[in-house]
Amino acid sequence: MILYVARIIPPEEFGKFAVVISFIAIADSFVSLPFENSIVQSSKLGKKDIDSIWTYSRFLKSLIFFFLFNLFIFKFEFPFLIEEKELYYIASLSILGNGIYNTYISQRIRHIDYKSDMISSFVGRISRLFFLLFLCSYFKNSYALIISWLIEIYLKSFSSYIVANKKISICFDIKPLKKHLNYSISAYFVNLVDQLLLNLENLLAVTFIGVKFAGLFQASKRINSEFTSDFKMILDKILFPFYSRIKKKNNRLLNNIYTYYPLIIYLAGIISLIAFLFIDELIKLILGKNWLDAIILCKIYLIYNFFNIINVQTKSIFRALNIQKYIIYSSVVYLVLITTNSLIFYNNDQLNGVIFVLIVSISLTVTCFINVYFVKFNIKLSLIKFTKNNIVSILSLLISTAITVCTYYYYLRYLDSVLLILSIKILLFAFMLLQFYLLYIYNFSEFKNNLNYIVKKIFKR
């Protein structure tokens, strides 16, 4: 639905929206100590701990940051970003909305209970989509995107009090924070580089190429996220608490990786291939002719999405084991790669949208391999054993990838018949489903057992 409104709102306005929320996210990461991660990571927490964490890390922080952020916007000019200060003022209301979210939701996630989190998130999303349609018909610009985004944030926060059994209270006692301080300080730097990872590329896009490309780039990420973001989010919320409960028991960690990672990698690959096949039709049907330039960007960005799903799982291990320095190491490599390469191509007048997305995707791939190496180093993961145990599923994914990519680039691109192209794509889709069905039925790489387990955890009451 959010993509459908792109028929009404041009790429330039999407670019403004992307830049404004990215700027706020990066600024917020500089002033936020992520104590809430310690709620998921810690095994013993009382009501006073959670109330104190909420009071200081959400409520009071949001009030102070809201004032400082607007003062900063008022005092300084941004010729290299978006000059419409009203957009920043309105979007800054998100700071207050996030500041009232019920922290007890994190405690439920700690106990592998995702029902409350999923319901509050769902309420926010549905409300945003509903209001977005009306706002777009009235504003027809980035204001509609920002206001609907604010509605999602506030309704998610309000509904978190309805779905959680416990209610938060203001607690000014700072003593409970002290036992979580060490973990939160290391988590602070991880959160900072994470936000830079997520948002710096938007700022680089508008700075080096322009606001229209920033909009196309944002649409590319949004389209890809329709295929993979929920899958990535669910895995992160399941595995981070799970690893936190295991702690330093490396044998159990290794067993978990050998057991669940084959399924995760395979599903990530199949989802990416399905997206690769049907992104053309999705953009033409939903976004319209103004967004056709986003097709090639979306296809390249699928590389980023696939490796990012794997990357998120390695980060969950580092967070749970409180060895977050490795996240910082690999993230700094990513930030250096995208920034320096963008500057090099820009200074040589060779930077365009395709090259920029390639830089982002290849840089993330390098980061993923670095994180896999760090996992191997810390818990003695054997990549040879992993490959041998899952050779059938790995070959299946490689075969699907080779057939899909070759068919598209060496055959489908030269066909004129829309019906024939769509028929071949559906056949390829059916072939991938058949492969997965056989892997599931014959329980290769424990697919059947592990998929049933993950589904059970998602819908656990």
Cα 234 to chain centroid, rounded: 11
Lowest mean pLDDT among 228-232, 319-323, 426-430: 228-232
| Structure confidence at residue 305 as a pLDDT band (50, 70, 90) | confident
C-alpha distances (whole Å) from 111 to each of 106, 332, 450 are 9, 32, 19
Average pLDDT score over the chain: 81
CA Rg value for the chain: 22
Query: What are the sequence ranges of the domains in the chain?
Result: 1-184, 209-461
CA-CA distance, 138 to 133, in Å (whole number)? Answer: 9
Lowest mean pLDDT among 70-84, 104-118, 140-154, 402-416: 104-118
Q: Is the pLDDT of residue 298 over 60?
A: yes
Q: Is the pLDDT of residue 420 over 70?
A: yes
Q: Is the pLDDT of residue 237 over 70?
A: no
pLDDT given at position 111: 62
| Structure confidence at residue 386 as a pLDDT band (50, 70, 90) | confident
pLDDT given at position 96: 94
- Nearest partner of 373 among 326, 325, 320, 423, judged by Cα: 326
The CB-side HSE value for 209 (13 A sphere, CA atoms) comes to: 24
Q: Is the pLDDT of residue 73 over 70?
A: yes
pLDDT given at position 207: 83
More confident residue, 389 or 342: 342
Q: Is the pLDDT of residue 64 over 90?
A: yes
Q: What is the mean pLDDT of residues 402-430?
A: 90
Q: Is the pLDDT of residue 308 over 80?
A: yes
CA-CA distance, 25 to 98, in Å (whole number)? Answer: 12
Q: What is the mean pLDDT of residues 262-275?
A: 87
CA-CA distance, 38 to 25, in Å (whole number)? Answer: 21
More confident residue, 254 or 404: 404
Cβ atoms < 10 Å from Cβ of 429: 16
| Structure confidence at residue 431 as a pLDDT band (50, 70, 90) | very high
pLDDT given at position 430: 93
Q: What's the pLDDT tens digit per position in 96-116?
A: 999 888 887 776 766 656 677
pLDDT given at position 339: 92
| Structure confidence at residue 461 as a pLDDT band (50, 70, 90) | very low
pTM of the model: 0.77
pLDDT given at position 263: 80
Q: What is the mean pLDDT of residues 431-450?
A: 83
Q: What's the pLDDT tens digit per position in 174-219?
A: 777 777 666 677 677 777 887 887 788 888 888 888 888 888 888 7
The CB-side HSE value for 401 (13 A sphere, CA atoms) comes to: 17
Lowest mean pLDDT among 4-18, 109-123, 226-240: 226-240
More confident residue, 421 or 461: 421
CA-CA distance, 418 to 384, in Å (whole number)? Answer: 44
Q: Are 106 and 39 in contact (CB under 8 A)?
A: yes
How buried is residue 290: exposed, middle or buried, by Cβ count under 10 Å (0-12/13-18/19+)? middle
Q: What's the pLDDT tens digit per position in 343-357?
A: 999 999 888 989 999
CA-CA distance, 303 to 423, in Å (whole number)? Answer: 25
